[in-house]
Structure 1
Amino acid sequence: MQISAVREALADAARAVVLPAGLPKLTSSGYVPDAVIAPHFFVAEYEQTFDKVMARGLDELIFTSRVLVGRGDDKAAQQMLDAMLSGSGPASLKVAIEAARGAPGDFALGGLAHDLHVMRVQGYRWYEHAGATYVGAELMIKVIGEGS
């Protein structure tokens, strides 16, 4: 797998989120940005396990991604974040990202990986990023694909 391409494909998939009318559109990036335009999703750190199958047959990556929401109104910001962290609905990041799995039998992320799975949400809290404070959370995304 080409990690840079996978990062960008995850960010592209997140852009499919549809927030309620009147809310800003979700922006996203495959890397940790210097500054964010909230709400913003980005792919941050990752862990990689090589050789899950012999002869470089399969690697597993666990990406830590974050979504940050501006806190102009604390309650409204948390409600927007809750919608994006829900397991279903048009604003769900899980639904948007897992749609990039493709049809049964297809490779995920446009052919970049064998499969992916949004495993969990963690770290729902206030984040400081580039001198500004946001409410946000982390999404843990597992991606598996050919190691060679």
Structure 2
Amino acid sequence: MDISAVREAIAAAARAVVLPDGIPKLTSTGHVPDAVTAPAFFVAEYTVDFDKAMGRALDEIEFTARLLVGRADEQSSQRLLDSILSGFGVASLKEAIEVARGAPGEYALGGLAHDLHVRRIQGNRLYEHAGIQYLGAEIIIKVIGEGAP
């Protein structure tokens, strides 16, 4: 798998999130930005398990992405975070990203991977990024695909 391309494809899928009126559009990148414009989603760290099948046939990558929202008001920030982290709805990151799985029998992320799955949300807390505190959480995404071209 081309890890950089997979990261960018996950970020592109996240851009489908529809936020409530009056909330700026979700900023989404496949890399850790120097500074963020909240609300922001970005693909950060990852771990790779090689050789999940013989002959370099399958690798598994677990990406840790982050969602950061502004802290203008405690309650509205928490409600926004909760709606984006929900498992359903137009604001759901899980639904937006998993649309990129494709139809049954199709490869995920436009052919970059065999499959992907948003596994869990963790670390719902305050995050500091570029010296600014945000309310946020981590999204764990599992991607499986070809180990070798």
TM-score range, shorter chain: over 0.9
Structure 1 residue 22 displacement after superposition: 1.1
- Is 2:104 the partner of 1:122? no
| Alpha-carbon distance, 1:88 to partner | 0.2
CA distance in 2, matches of 1:17, 1:122: 19
**Residue-pair matches, total:** 148
Taking the TM superposition and a 5 Å limit, the aligned residue runs for 1:97-108 are 97-108=97-108
Percent identity among equivalent residues?
Answer: 70
**Distance apart, 1:125 and its partner CA:** 0.1
Per-residue CA distance 1:25-84 (angstroms, 9 max, x = gap):
101100100000000000000000000000000000000000000001111011000001
Which residue pairs with 2:63 in the alignment? 63
Is residue 49 of structure 1 aligned with residue 49 of structure 2? yes
- The code of the aligned residue for 1:85 comes to L
CA distance in 2, matches of 1:97, 1:124: 19
Specify the code of the residue in structure 2 equivalent to 1:74: E
Paired with 2:7 and 2:135, the residues of 1 have a C-alpha distance of 23
Give the corresponding residue for 1:26: 26
User: Which residue number in structure 1 is paired with residue 7 of structure 2?
Assistant: 7
One-letter amino acid matched to 1:105: G
One-letter amino acid matched to 2:15: R
Structure 1: runs of 5+ lacking an equivalent: none
Paired AA for residue 117 in structure 1: H
What are structure 2's unaligned runs of at least 5 residues?
A: none
1:36 and 2:36 aligned: yes
Equivalent-residue separation in structure 2 for 1:22 and 1:104 (angstroms): 36
Moved over 3 A (4+): none
CA RMSD for the aligned pairs?
0.4
Code of the aligned partner of 2:126: W
The amino acid of 2:102's aligned partner reads G
AA aligned to 2:76 is A
SS at match of 2:8: helix
Give the alignment's TM-score, normalised by structure 1: 0.99
1:78 equivalent to 2:69? Answer no
